[in-house]
Amino acid sequence: MIPARLLGLGHANPPHDLHQDVARDWARVQFAERFPVFERMAPVFTNAGIAQRQIARPVEWYLQPQDWATRTTAYREVATALFIEAARDAIDAAGLAPDAIDIVVTVSSTGIATPSLEALAHAELGLRTDVTRVPVFGLGCAGGVSGLALAARLAAAQPGARVLLVAVELCSLSFRADMLSKSNVVATALFGDGAAAAVLSTAGPAQVAVVAAAEHLWPETLDVMGWDVAPHGFGVIFAQSIPTLVSRHLRDALVSLCSGMGVAEAEIGRFVCHPGGAKVIEALEASLNLAPGTLDAERAVLTDHGNMSAPTVLFVLQRLLAQGGLADDRPGMMLALGPGFTLSGALLRQAA
């Protein structure tokens, strides 16, 4: 089977910047008096490795009470706009027109829209009436890698078809002033909003090809990460320390992934990782036997945009490719962790 080639990448962020000191001050006002452990947790804002993020609405919007209706309205409006912007960016980078797209894969877990986002964006973006739509929900932070893997499989299964992947997440819509939990404070320190897109096909000029993909789901870990569905909106669940889980279990899962993809870990020239937070990046470097500071592009994306969930690893990939691509002629391995609890991997090679 001919592997899918990555013809173009794109991204988009909402226009509202949230600087980390503003986020910390906002959280202190919301939580300090009602949640006694807040001050012990407050250093997470300084230690997260984030300078600023972009969020769906102006800061003042988050200071007002919000419910499912207002959050859903914001999701439909902002996610659709970001979908269109990121998709156009990727389609332009691929040297195509929107009506050349045959299949659209939409990855999003931070809101619910029916019709789904690619249908809401369809007319303005200029997609064909016979485009195949594949909306995917629930992958969380693993969605960038799992979505790319799915898009690559679809492209390889239909040689010559052009597949558009768009990952859109508005994590800030889960900010909950009514939710007094450690997970909610951590989410308030980490999450930002954004969209990333990719165009894949078996034919066309490209830097890299997606040649294999695999996942590893750990048993009895359903409570590690996910959403609590409550009357006022989604609330984040972090039942265990993600950096600790990475340190303890990533290596065995990586061996499983490499075996499934037919590659030796020693062959991999560059890991391309989802930067969940500064401590997660440190745990990844240690678990992957990388020198401290190796995951520089991951840190740069985290600093500028925060943890945007699924799109974030595609931001990292776009930054790396803009800097010259993969190391030498060795393959790259994209990695992301998400609800399940799952490690998702995709193997990249220089396109011939």
Domain ranges of the chain: 4-201, 208-350
Residue 209 burial class via C-beta count within 10 angstroms: exposed 0-12, middle 13-18, buried 19 and up = buried
What confidence category does residue 198 fall into, taking pLDDT thresholds of 50, 70 and 90? very high
Query: 3-state SS of the chain: helix, strand, coil percent to 5?
Result: 40, 25, 35
Which CA distances in Å does 296 have to 13, 155, 278, 334?
21, 31, 11, 15
Q: What is the CATH number of domain 4-201?
A: 3.40.47.10
Closest by CA position to 264, among listed 275, 253, 255: 255
CB 274 within 8 A of CB 144: yes
Q: Which residue has the tokens 């999003």?
A: 108
pLDDT value at residue 229: 80
Distance CA 346, CA 145 (A): 6
Query: What is the torsional sign of CA 318, 277, 185, 20?
Result: negative
pLDDT at position 252: 87
Give the CA radius of gyration of the chain: 19
Instruction: Indicate if 258 belongs to the active site.
Output: no
pLDDT at residue number 240: 61
Which pLDDT band holds residue 327 (cuts at 50, 70, 90)?
A: low
Q: Are domains 4-201 and 208-350 of this chain identical in fold?
A: yes
Tell me how far apart the alpha carbons of residues 168 and 327 are, in angstroms, rounded to a whole number: 28
Choice among 14-28, 174-188, 225-239 with the minimum mean pLDDT: 225-239
The pLDDT value recorded for residue 177 is: 77
Which of 4-8, 17-21, 54-58, 62-66 is least confident? 62-66
C-alpha closest to that of 166 among 214, 125, 123: 125
Q: Can you tell me the mean pLDDT for 220-229?
A: 81
pLDDT of residue 193: 98
Q: How far apart are CA 277 and CA 298, in angstroms?
A: 9
CATH class of 208-350: alpha beta
Given a cut of 70, is residue 257 above it in pLDDT? Answer: yes
Beta strands in 202-287 (DSSP E): 208-217, 225-230, 233-238, 270-273
CB 257 within 8 A of CB 216: yes
Chain centre distance of CA 298? 12
> Are 211 and 348 in contact, with CB atoms under 8 Å apart?
yes
Cα dihedral sign, 90-96-98-99: negative
Q: Which of 7-11, 46-50, 245-249, 250-254 has the lowest mean pLDDT?
A: 245-249
Catalytic pick among 141, 171, 258, 273? 141
Q: 300, 283, 305, 302: which is closest to 292 by C-alpha?
A: 283
Model confidence band, residue 200 (pLDDT cutoffs 50, 70, 90)? very high
